[in-house]
Structure 1
């Protein structure tokens, strides 16, 4: 439950921050009549994410056993890619995302003043793509997790994460809640890299069960009697570190070859750069300066 909760909390908070910046800017500049366009974009993105998740889930159920294992491996690999991209994208983009959004909105309203059109679709598009990106990333992650565990704690944890993210986003927008976003995204980023490493190891497991990967199948250790996956501690370690009670050499190697370089790259200091100029006064709460 912990892994889906924290990842959906992070995904939801990223989307909430971007939507909050857009909505806060409209409120600051006296353009609150444009807010419905933002909510239309959000609702369309949620609908797309739900439809994509249902379509992928139904497609996977139609395959025979070996093909289903291959399908699960593909979904797991996509989840590793999108989780990694999410972590490193936010690490690099957080410093300038507010200025970029302000520039985009200023350009849209300038076009609106000249031609009478453009602002509505621009706002719908910005909100749609912000939420859709996080939603589609979440779809593949949750599918990969659901394939590993059928426990009801997984969807409950995911829903709890989304719920908390929405509440935090509302609190940040109205200025009632302040978070150390830099520290939040740093620690959740480290956690997500561990989750992605565990998913990558499970991809090799699925490929072996599909009859595609048969190398490095010697068991490194077998802790099924001491610390089984089904135990409380095993479940927690599986969610946090990608633990498996009896990993093969290939799975352990994939875990290490992904995790070590990813952590080194993620934790390296940022190159010094001049701060981006502020075009508008910062709102009381909706700050996306996460790094």
Structure 2
């Protein structure tokens, strides 16, 4: 549940922020009629991501081999996602504004479809990453727990995105993405470990005693240690961000 919450919160926040920036840009430039294209693009992207996630989860449940492969794909996706956000995060607004600016200059329905396609691409990219990560978790998680974590993560992402739009610079998104990046990379390490666990179950790794290592890894992949790791992936960055916020607030109060 907690791993699902972390993934959907972070990736959902990126998607919601993209939609928020796009909507604000269209309103600022007097192109409110194209906001419907943004909403439609968001809906199609979310639906497509859910279908992809279900498909990948079904493939992963076929055998430990596929579960291990999906875990490695998800780990690589996490690393790419963190690197991409560190590189492009500061320029996200300019990228969205530039893309929408070109699309909205087209005539009539062409502008609508251009904006729709642009949002599908931008949000769909986040959706594909999320689907790959969640599919890797599906084999070792109950559907009820994943649903709870996913709904909670999306709700929190929507709340933070709304707060950013409503209160602007008082929400430090740069710090949020920097802190969560550390724990997303830790999550990637756990996914690699999970792949190792699945591969040793079918004696796929040469040169080692696969049975011994599979038994040794079980508490860390599916037991109590895995559960504690999932909790810490959410609790640790939350405490970190809260402490940093309180320290900043205290510093501002002392400066008054």
Q: Fold conserved (TM > 0.5)?
A: yes
Kindly indicate whether residue 36 of structure 2 is the aligned counterpart of residue 36 of structure 1.
Answer: yes
d(CA) in 1 for partners of 2:146 and 2:173? 25
Counterpart in the other structure of 1:95? 90
What is the number of equivalent residue pairs in this alignment?
A: 231
Counterpart in the other structure of 1:139? 131
Q: Name the SS of the counterpart of 1:94 in structure 2.
A: helix
- Structure 1 residue 193, shift from structure 2 partner: 0.3
User: Cα 1:117–1:156, aligned 2, differ >3 Å: closer, same or farther?
Assistant: closer
Q: Name the SS of the counterpart of 1:95 in structure 2.
A: helix
Q: TM-score, normalization: structure 2? A: 0.80
Identify unmatched segments of 5+ residues in structure 1.
242-291
Q: What CA deviation, in whole Å up to 9, does each residue of 1:115-160 have, x standing for no partner?
A: x553212211221122211112111211212222337433312220
Kindly indicate whether residue 61 of structure 2 is the aligned counterpart of residue 69 of structure 1.
Answer: no
d(CA) in 2 for partners of 1:201 and 1:57? 18
User: Cα 1:145–1:228, aligned 2, differ >3 Å: closer, same or farther?
Assistant: closer
Q: Which shifted more, 180-189 or 117-126?
A: 117-126
- Structure 1 residue 240, shift from structure 2 partner: 4.2
Which runs of structure 2 are paired with 1:1-291 in the superposition (5 Å)?
A: 1-61=1-61, 63=62, 68-112=63-107, 116=108, 118-150=110-142, 152-175=144-167, 178-217=170-209, 230-231=223-224, 235-238=227-230, 240=232
User: Cα 1:229–1:71, aligned 2, differ >3 Å: closer, same or farther?
Assistant: closer
d(CA) in 2 for partners of 1:88 and 1:124? 26
d(CA) in 1 for partners of 2:104 and 2:217? 61
Counterpart in the other structure of 1:273? none
Counterpart in the other structure of 2:236? none
Asked if the contact 2:37/2:116 (under 8 Å) is kept, the reply is yes
Q: Which shifted more, 178-187 or 146-155?
A: 146-155
Q: TM-score, normalization: structure 1? A: 0.71
- Structure 1 residue 53, shift from structure 2 partner: 1.8
Q: Name the SS of the counterpart of 1:87 in structure 2.
A: helix
Q: Name the SS of the counterpart of 2:105 in structure 1.
A: helix
Asked if the contact 1:4/1:154 (under 8 Å) is kept, the reply is yes
Counterpart in the other structure of 1:249? none
Instruction: Point out the structure with the larger helix share.
Output: 2
- Structure 1 residue 33, shift from structure 2 partner: 1.3
